[in-house]
Amino acid sequence: MIKLQNIEKSYRHGLSQTFVLRRVSAEIKSGDFVSIMGPSGAGKSTLLHILGMHDSAWTGEYWLYEDPIHQLSAKDRMRLQKQHIGFVFQSYHLLDNLTVYENIDLPLSYRDVKKAEREGMVADILDRFNIVGKKDLFPNQLSGGQQQLVAIARAVVAKPTLILADEPTGNLHSDQGKEIMELFRRLNEGGTTIVQVTHSKENASYSKRVINLKDGWIVDEI
C-alpha cells in the first residue's frame, strides 16, 4: 500500500542544514497497524504529515498504491488524500463553531458528496460510534474522550483505507485512551490500515508493527 524510499526532510539555516528525516525507507501493507515511536524531535509527526500529504517539501520516493506521490502535482495529491486518507490529531482539532454533526459532515462536504448521501453517511457513523444523542452539541460541551471519538468518527466517515493518527490518546486519561485504542483495533480488523504516532508502549501494543525513529533515522522495526 505504502512504499517509502529514502525520504529526507531538512531545513536550511543560512549555510547549515538541519535534517529532520534521513533516508527513511519503509513499507506498509494494506490492513497493517503500524506505530511510529521515538523520542521528541525524532521526526515522528513530520513523517506522519508526509504520509498524509500535508507536507510536500521533502525528497525521496513515496508510493501510495500505484501512485508515485513524489511525482504528483499538489492537485493530484489532494485528490488521493481525499480518496484514501483520514487524519486523527492529538488535540482532536474539532472546529469550535460547528456541531458534532457538522464536524463529521465536513470531510464529506469537501469531497463534494451529495447532501442526501452525506446525511445517510453521517447518520450511520453517529450510530456506529454511539453518539447520535450528541450530534447537536458543540465540541466545548463534550469531554476530551468524547471529542476524540467525534474526531475519529470524522476521520473515518469518508471511508478512508488509511487512518493516520498523531498521538490520538495524548490528551486523554488512561480509560478513555484504552477505549480509543480499542476503536482503532476494531477499525483495523474491519480492513482499515492504521498508522499512529505514539509515545505509549501500551498503545503501541495494539499495533502489529512498530517503527522506531531517532534523530530522523529509522533505528529499528519490530
Partner 1 sequence: MLIQDIRYALRSFRRAPGFTAVALVTLALGIGGTTAIFSIVDGVLLRPLPYSDPGRILRINRVGANGGLDSFSAADYRDLKKDATSFAAISGYRSDIIDMTGRSEPVRIIGMQTTAAFFDVFDAAPLLGRTYHEATDTPGASIAVISEAIWRQQFGANAAVIGTQVRLNGAPTEIIGVVPEFLRHPQKSDVWMLSPFDVPTSPFGVDGNDSRDIHYFSVVARVAHDRQLTEGQQQLRSIGDQIARDHQRNAGSTFNGEPLASSMVADVRTAMLVLLGAVAFVLLIACANVAGLLIARGAARRRELAVRTALGAGRGRLVQQLLTESVVLALVGGALGMLVATWTQQLLISFAPENLPRLADVTLDWRIASFAFAATIVVGMLFGLTPALQSSRPELNADLKEGGRGGTSRTGLRNIMVVAQVALALVLLIGAGLMLTSFSRLRSVDPGFRVTDLVTVELMLPLARFDDTAQRTFYMGVLERLRANPVTANSAMLFPFPFGGGNAQASLSVVGQPAKPPEQRASADLYSVSPGYLQTAGVRLLKGRDFTDHDGPKSTPVVLISESAVKEFGGRDPIGEKIDMGDAFTVIGIVSDARRRSLDTPARAAVYLPYTQFVLPYMGAVVRTDRGAAAVASAVKTAVTQIDRDLPIGDVKTMEQIIEESTGEPRFRSFLIASFAALALLLAAVGVYGLISFTVTQRVPEIGVRLALGASPRQVFRQVIGQGLRLAIIGIIAGLAATAAATTLVRGLLFNTSATDPVVYISLSLLLLAIAALACYVPARRAMRVDPMTALRSE
Q: Are 118 and 46 in contact (CB under 8 A)?
A: no
Supply 58's cell numbers: 521533502
Q: Burial, 53: exposed, middle or buried (Cβ in 10 Å; 0-12, 13-18, 19+)?
A: buried
Helix axis angle, 174-189 to 144-156, nearest 10°: 20
Nearest-CA neighbor of 129 among 159, 154, 105?
A: 154
Establish if 54 lies at the interface with partner 1 (CB under 8 A): yes
Told to check if 144 binds partner 1 by CB under 8 A, we report no
If one asks whether residue 49 binds partner 1 (CB under 8 A), the answer comes out as yes
Closer Cβ to partner 1, 134 or 154, answer by number? 154
Give residues with Cβ within 8 angstroms of 81, minimum separation 6.
52, 53
Residues 69, 53 contacting (CB under 8 angstroms): yes
Q: Which is nearer to partner 1, 34 or 158 (CB)?
A: 158
Nearest-approach distance from CB 96 to partner 1, in angstroms? 8
Under rule CB under 8 A, residue 82 binds partner 1: yes
Report the C-alpha gap between 68 and 83 in whole angstroms. 15
- Site size toward partner 1 (CB under 8 A) is 26
Nearer to partner 1 among residue 27 and residue 76 (C-beta): 76
The one among 4, 43, 148, 154 contacting partner 1 by CB under 8 A: 154
Residue 106 as a binder of partner 1 (CB under 8 A): the answer is yes
Residue 96 interacts with partner 1 (CB under 8 A)? yes
Q: Does 87 bind partner 1 (CB under 8 A)?
A: yes
How far apart are alpha carbons 27 and 3 in whole angstroms? 5
**Which grid cell sits at 176?**
478513555
Q: Of 18, 109, 141, 205, which one interacts with partner 1 (CB under 8 A)?
A: 109
78 part of the interface to partner 1, by CB under 8 A: yes
Indicate the residue among 78 and 219 with the shorter CB distance to partner 1. Answer: 78
Q: Which of 27, 76, 95, 182 binds partner 1 (CB under 8 A)?
A: 95
Cα separations in angstroms, 90 against 11, 19, 109, 165: 24, 24, 23, 8
Binding site for partner 1 (CB under 8 A): 45-46, 49, 52, 54-55, 75, 78, 81-82, 87, 89, 91, 93, 95-98, 102, 106-107, 109-111, 154, 158
